[in-house]
């Protein structure tokens, strides 16, 4: 993760409860070239009260009158389906990941060998949850939507004190609105997190489009998480704010290009690829007209033109007033 941006394609609950649709999401993520495809692991009975309301975006996007409990109950994946999806990920050479939303789900994910644990934004103030994840002593990625810097510090301290080392934790800047308005992204908050907590940073994106996660990589994000779907017109709470497969693939390619673009030494010096163009693009001091041996070089008989295979124009002031050591025809490069 220190050398390559980790890209997590968040399938989430966009499978709509269908194992076959979940596999199609895995196919799309694998084809796009992401590192992980991530689902969600929960038991509605352990996650939410039966009277809890849904978020406004969930009401708007779902197109039904279900309560949050009823909505989540339909989107549960059984333990058996998790194992089936893990096996399918192996066949497609992509890493399986899932976010656990309750303590029992965390234990299950740990038991089946998940090597990276994602803390969603809603659990950043859940002390028992944070302690449980830290106790696994595995890599942690924590989203920070809706959180203040002090809440992030508190969560980080809990993780540290319960088994998670600083170098195991990546903190993702995030905004928990689906979709996030561009004016609310506040992307430079990643640097605030980095400077205050001294840890690796990343970005979990809920904007429409792919430009913000690409910009996040240019600003130093080492983990990118982005929701995706097979079709934004499918019913369900998260489809509308998700990328479709061709967009996911374009985002991955752009991120890999940005990785290369920012991987240099940071020193301003000519690259290997551009050195050959120096002669073509730069200029030399040349004769503006025929010059006879013994004539004095002046602004009337010398000028500057391509190619750059002669005296540099930076020597212009030194050449003026000197005597021509030989005859020069018009456009000959001047030599002393």
Query: What pLDDT score does 24 carry?
Result: 98
Give the burial class of 186: count Cβ atoms within 10 A of its Cβ; 0-12 exposed, 13-18 middle, 19 or more buried. Answer: exposed
Would you state the pLDDT for residue 236? 85
- For 33-63, what is each residue's pLDDT tens digit? 999 999 999 998 888 998 888 878 776 776 6
CA distance 313 to 282: 9
0.95 exceeded by the pTM? Answer: no
Q: How confident is the model over 108-129, as pLDDT tens digits?
A: 999 999 999 999 999 999 999 9
Averaged pLDDT score across all residues of the chain: 95
Residue 304: C-alpha distances to residues 307, 316, 325, 330, 331 (Å): 9, 9, 19, 12, 9
pLDDT score, position 73: 86
Q: Is the pLDDT of residue 104 over 90?
A: yes
Q: Which residue has the higher pLDDT, 75 or 66?
A: 75
- Residue 157 pLDDT > 70: yes
**Greater confidence, 71 or 203?**
203
- The four Cα atoms 205, 210, 214, 219 give a dihedral, to 10 degrees, of -50
pLDDT at 158 over 50: yes
Amino acid 54: pLDDT = 81
C-alpha distances out from residue 182 to 36, 172, 202, 238, Å = 26, 17, 18, 18
Give Cα 212 to chain centroid, integer Å: 8
* 3-state secondary structure (DSSP) of residue 58: helix
Q: Quote the pLDDT of residue 31.
A: 98
C-alpha distances in angstroms, 175 versus 27, 172, 185, 197, 205? 28, 10, 7, 19, 7
For 219, the 3-state DSSP assignment is coil
Q: What is the percent of the chain with per-residue pLDDT over 70, rounded to a whole number?
A: 98
pLDDT of residue 1: 40
In this prediction, residue 252 carries a pLDDT of 98
CA distances from residue 277 to 165, 270, 306 in whole angstroms, order as listed: 49, 10, 12
> At a CB cut-off of 8 Å and minimum separation 6, what does 9 contact?
28, 29, 32, 34, 36, 37, 38, 226, 228, 248
pLDDT at 114: 97
For residues 173-190, average pLDDT: 96
pLDDT tens, residue by residue, 254-275: 999 999 999 988 999 999 999 9
Alpha helices in 262-315 (DSSP H): 272-275, 278-281
CA 159 to chain centre: 24
DSSP state of 324: P
pLDDT score of 64 more than 90: no
pLDDT tens, position by position, 264-312: 889 999 999 999 999 999 999 999 999 999 999 999 999 999 999 999 9
- The predicted pLDDT at position 105 comes to 96
pLDDT of residue 65: 67
User: Strand 284-287 and strand 6-12: pairing?
Assistant: unpaired
């Amino acid at each position: 993760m220190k050398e390559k941006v980790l890209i997590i394609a968040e399938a989430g609950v966009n499978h709509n409860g269908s194992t076959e649709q979940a596999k199609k999401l895995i196919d799309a993520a694998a084809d796009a070239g992401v590192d992980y495809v991530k689902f969600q692991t929960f038991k509605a009975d352990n996650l939410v009260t039966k009277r809890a309301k849904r978020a406004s975006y969930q009401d708007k996007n779902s197109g039904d009158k279900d309560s949050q409990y009823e909505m989540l109950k339909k989107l549960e994946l059984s333990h058996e389906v998790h194992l089936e999806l893990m096996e399918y990920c192996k066949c497609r050479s992509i890493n399986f990941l899932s976010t656990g939303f309750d303590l029992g789900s965390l234990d299950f994910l740990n038991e089946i060998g998940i090597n990276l644990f994602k803390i969603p934004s809603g659990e950043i103030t859940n002390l028992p949850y944070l302690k449980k994840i830290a106790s696994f002593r595995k890599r942690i990625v924590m989203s920070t939507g809706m959180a203040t810097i002090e809440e992030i510090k508190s969560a980080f301290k809990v993780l540290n004190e319960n088994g998670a080392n600083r170098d195991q934790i990546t903190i993702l800047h995030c905004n928990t609105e689906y979709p996030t308005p561009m004016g609310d992204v506040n992307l430079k908050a990643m640097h605030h997190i980095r400077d205050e907590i001294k840890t690796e940073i990343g970005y979990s994106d809920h904007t429409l489009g792919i430009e913000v996660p690409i910009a996040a990589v240019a600003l130093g994000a080492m983990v990118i998480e982005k929701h995706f779907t097979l079709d934004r017109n499918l019913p369900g709470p998260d489809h509308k704010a998700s990328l479709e497969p061709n967009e996911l693939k374009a985002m991955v390619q752009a991120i890999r290009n940005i990785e290369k673009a920012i991987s240099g030494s940071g020193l301003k010096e000519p690259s290997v690829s551009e050195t050959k163009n120096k002669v073509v693009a730069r200029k030399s001091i040349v004769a503006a007209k025929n010059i006879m041996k013994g004539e004095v070089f002046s602004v009337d008989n010398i000028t500057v033109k391509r190619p750059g295979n002669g005296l540099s124009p930076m020597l212009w002031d030194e050449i003026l007033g000197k005597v021509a050591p030989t005859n020069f025809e018009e456009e000959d490069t001047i030599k002393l």
